[in-house]
Amino acid sequence: MRTDKAGWPLKLAAGAGIAFLHLPLLFILAYAFSTEEKSYQWPLPGLTTKWFGVAWGRQDIWDALTLSVEIAAISTAIALVLGTLAAGGLARAKFFGRETLSLLIILPIALPGIVTGISLRTAFGAADIPFSVLTIVLGHATFCIVVVYNNAVARLRRTSPSLIEASMDLGADAFQTFRYVLLPTLGTALLAGGMLAFALSFDEVIVTTFTAGQQETLPIWMLTELIRPRQRPVTNVVAVFVILVTLLPILAAYYLTRDTAETAGSGK
């Protein structure tokens, strides 16, 4: 009985924390339907859906959205390849400096985004690489790799070595073992890691600010439009879309790996 009584205050505190974190998102959703153009009034003076039509007809929004999806897709593809290879090399092999190398791999997601952005901008400037879609992709890949790596290495460390040994004993070569044994085992972990990486890349703004140059992704477009009072309702509509695009992959990744607790390092 004492345990049950102690549980309710904890649940109440957790609920209050969740409400504190997500209440601003509900305000964004509400203001996307507000009839007021220039200011944020509460309660809302009226409700309308016209801003969704305005946002749908804006070509600049579509251009920014297309660029964001393109960058997120390429960054995720790079992260899936490099993150899986890094996990395969570090999951079971034991050598001097392995923990240090693992720390270096996960460091980009642990550092503040502004530190990563400044570092990348300095590196690109020193290498005389012009800022373009390529520099944005490289910047996003630095933290997307971490997400895939964490999911893949967790799954590999939970996989019994006897499966690989049995495959090799039965005559399978390294490629066949990877295709028929490891890849199916890693499937949901890689899918979850890829979804999380896509979501992180799609809504990234800090690193993008330092690596974009003249390119304008959807988060950068939103940041620019916030200083224009008449564009606030449209910006809120786009923000609702970004929330959905970001939330759905994260929820899917959670449900894919909730029984194995392998979505480590999913926040940035």
Cα 123 to chain centroid, rounded: 23
Half-sphere exposure of 91 (CA within 13 A, CB side): 21
Q: Which among 204, 210, 200 has a CA at the least distance from the CA of 266? A: 200
Spell out the long-range contacts of 249-254 with Cβ–Cβ below 8 A and sequence spacing 24 or more.
249/195, 249/196, 249/198, 249/199, 250/195, 250/196, 250/199, 252/192, 252/195, 253/191, 253/192, 253/193, 253/195, 253/196, 254/192
Q: What pTM does this model have?
A: 0.77
Q: Which amino acid is located at 227 in the chain? A: I
pLDDT in tens, the chain (268 residues): 455 555 777 888 888 888 888 787 887 787 777 766 666 667 767 777 777 887 788 888 888 888 998 999 999 999 988 888 888 777 776 777 777 877 888 888 787 888 888 888 888 888 888 888 888 998 888 888 888 888 888 877 777 677 776 777 677 777 777 777 777 777 778 888 888 888 888 888 888 888 887 888 888 888 887 776 566 778 888 888 888 877 777 777 677 666 554 444 444 4
For the chain, which domains are there?
Answer: 55-257 (1.10.3720.10)
Among the listed residues 79, 203, 204, the one whose alpha carbon sits nearest the alpha carbon of residue 148: 79
Task: Output the CA–CA distances (angstroms, integers) from residue 77 to 94, 138, 194, 262, in the order listed.
Answer: 28, 12, 8, 20
